[in-house]
Structure 1
């Protein structure tokens, strides 16, 4: 890591695939996701998940199948356990995912294509967030890599397409590929970078509108020969991270 990488944004996604919210700082626990990240997930008519344990993303309603979901933003009240969802085509919804499932399903229905399996409920794994990875992970996104792909596409590219947790700059484009297998010190925490993130069609949707507008997967194929963007890391030492913190190898 030849230059100093720094956190420029922190994001979490309380309901998997249904909204993002920004944070200034967060305290991480060893072996866990970012607190409240993917705390809940939304089942559909073909799901096999019952909330008793982690399940793969195919069991849940998500942006890869329903691009309109990418335009949802959220705000969580950790004291009351309530979530507020916002979307450009829907009124805001303030609800408790534990007790007001039907209100959420009613709010969601106009966003769901009739040709897709409809959402049926909200589940929560007892001991971890419903990340796409089999292990509880945080995702790191390099703004320089995002800018390089945007240049290749010839258009602006919001980093929110990648639904990351830790957004950083100060590293060269695609430098994060070389971090796999290494431990990073961030704030007072340490994270082990475990694997690249293989991307899906959710990234083709505009996070402001929820409409598919860019062939991000094809661009990654042409630019890099693979549909990977960003990295998954595991918290190996608990601690607090904040915007402005440096990211350094241990």
Structure 2
């Protein structure tokens, strides 16, 4: 097996950035989900589950960590990492803690783009959010990702899923891998081989990872990442073929055991 794609998402819920290589930290890949858009009144995370328009925001990161966000018909937003920004209490998937506010200019730009009052924050201390039990070990941390530092998908499993869609003559066929928003895509394994990796150790290049559990999928996978339009797939088909314990499974979560670097083309082995 080998890595065929690496992807990061600088702002949780927004457009992706394709990578050739990335540094692995305990909380995830460098540049992945350190930024977050929150409701201005509550501090709750604003995600694609509620706001599909996040797909129209295209972020990128400069060498100095500065964030640039592009959106249709408006000038780019450029924001430096607000290391000394005022604290904002935010809530993401049961975690409530502090993040640094990016400032009113960023808040106003994003509020106009999304037509709702929001704020932009940055996770100034990426060790602040610990992974919830029962799969976490002491010291396991995560950025603003849903639950784990990395998500891995198997290219052959997407082929199998698209075969099911074709057999059912689903008009949304074929679906691209981008629907599942993985960090790492691997090829060279049979479809659904990743089911057997749960509870084991995976090695990608020079970095090892625990595979705590498979990933249960949500409405975000029904969102076209290019247009923001929503359909009913792949959840309808996953419900028929991939329901385990009331979860619709596609991909597996990863927890790094040590820092390092991974790249497209790296070999992948299962321990």
**TM-score, length basis structure 1:** 0.82
The answer on whether the counterparts of 1:33 and 1:137 sit within 8 Å (CA) in structure 2 is yes
Q: Which residue number corresponds to residue 207 of structure 2?
A: 189
Q: Which residue number corresponds to residue 54 of structure 1?
A: none
**Number of aligned pairs?**
229
1:60 aligns with 2:81: no
Superposed, 1:34-53 pairs within 5 Å as 34-45=29-40, 47=42
3-state SS in 2 of match to 1:75: strand
Q: Which residue number corresponds to residue 205 of structure 1?
A: 223
The answer on whether the counterparts of 2:110 and 2:119 sit within 8 Å (CA) in structure 1 is no
The answer on whether the counterparts of 2:152 and 2:253 sit within 8 Å (CA) in structure 1 is yes
3-state SS in 1 of match to 2:23: strand
2:256 to 225, 235, 241: 235
Q: Which residue number corresponds to residue 170 of structure 1?
A: 188
The answer on whether the counterparts of 1:70 and 1:202 sit within 8 Å (CA) in structure 2 is no
2-structure distance, mates of 1:111, 1:202: 20
Q: Which residue number corresponds to residue 33 of structure 1?
A: 28
Gaps of 5+ in 2: 86-101, 128-142, 167-172
1:19 aligns with 2:15: yes
Q: Which residue number corresponds to residue 68 of structure 2?
A: 84
2-structure distance, mates of 1:44, 1:170: 42
The root-mean-square deviation of aligned C-alpha atoms, in Å, is 2.2
Cα deviation code 1:91-136 (max 9, x no counterpart): 543333527533333333355366xxx4234242513411211xx5
The structure-2 alpha-carbon separation of the partners of 1:197 and 1:96, relative to structure 1 and needing over 3 Å to count, comes to same
2-structure distance, mates of 1:119, 1:97: 18
Gaps of 5+ in 1: 49-58
Q: Which residue number corresponds to residue 123 of structure 2?
A: 124
Q: Which residue number corresponds to residue 107 of structure 2?
A: 105
Shift of 1:246: 1.2
3-state SS in 1 of match to 2:221: helix
The structure-2 alpha-carbon separation of the partners of 1:92 and 1:223, relative to structure 1 and needing over 3 Å to count, comes to farther
1:147 to 159, 162, 167: 159
> Comparing both chains, which one has the higher relative contact order based on Cα–Cα distances under 8 Å and sequence gaps of 6 or more?
1
The answer on whether the counterparts of 2:162 and 2:175 sit within 8 Å (CA) in structure 1 is yes
2-structure distance, mates of 1:169, 1:47: 42
1:74 aligns with 2:73: no
The structure-2 alpha-carbon separation of the partners of 1:86 and 1:189, relative to structure 1 and needing over 3 Å to count, comes to same
3-state SS in 1 of match to 2:252: strand
Shift of 1:89: 6.2
Deviant stretches of 4+, over 6 Å? none
